[in-house]
Amino acid sequence: MTKNPLKNKKIFIAGHKGMVGSALVNFFKKNEIKNLILISKKKLDLLNEKKVHKFIAFHKPDIIINCAGKVGGILANSSFPIEFLHQNIMIQNNLVNGSFRNNIKHFINLGSSCIYPKNSKQPIKEEYLLSGYLEKTNEAYALAKIVGLKSCEFYNQQYGTSYFTLMPCNLYGPNDNFNLKNSHFIPALIKKIINTSKGKNKKIEIWGTGKPKREVMYVEDLASAIYFVLEKKIKKDKNLLNIIKKNSVINVGSSNEFTIKQFAKIICSLSNKKCKLIFNKNYPDGTMRKILDNRIMRKLGWKPKVPLKIGLSRTINWYKENYL
Catalytic residues: 141
Q: Which residues contact 90 (CB under 8 A, 6 or more apart)?
A: 46, 47, 49
Within 10 A of 53 (CB to CB), how many other CB atoms are there?
A: 17
**CA–CA dist 27, 220 (Å, integer):** 7
**CA–CA dist 131, 114 (Å, integer):** 13
- DSSP E strands in 26-129: the ranges are 36-37, 63-66, 106-110
Choose among 206, 210, 220: nearest CA to 318: 220
Report whether 170 contacts 298 (CB < 8 A). no
Q: Which residues pair with 261 in a beta bridge?
A: none
Handedness of CA 225, 118, 193, 16 (dihedral sign): positive
Provide the 8-state DSSP code for 42: T
Residue-wise burial string across 132-159, b where 16 or more C-beta atoms lie within 10 A, e elsewhere:
eebbebbbbbbbbbbbbbbbbbebbeee
**CA–CA dist 195, 273 (Å, integer):** 10
Choose among 12, 14, 3: nearest CA to 48: 14
* DSSP element (H, E) containing 275: strand 275-280
**Bond into 123 cis (ω within 30):** yes
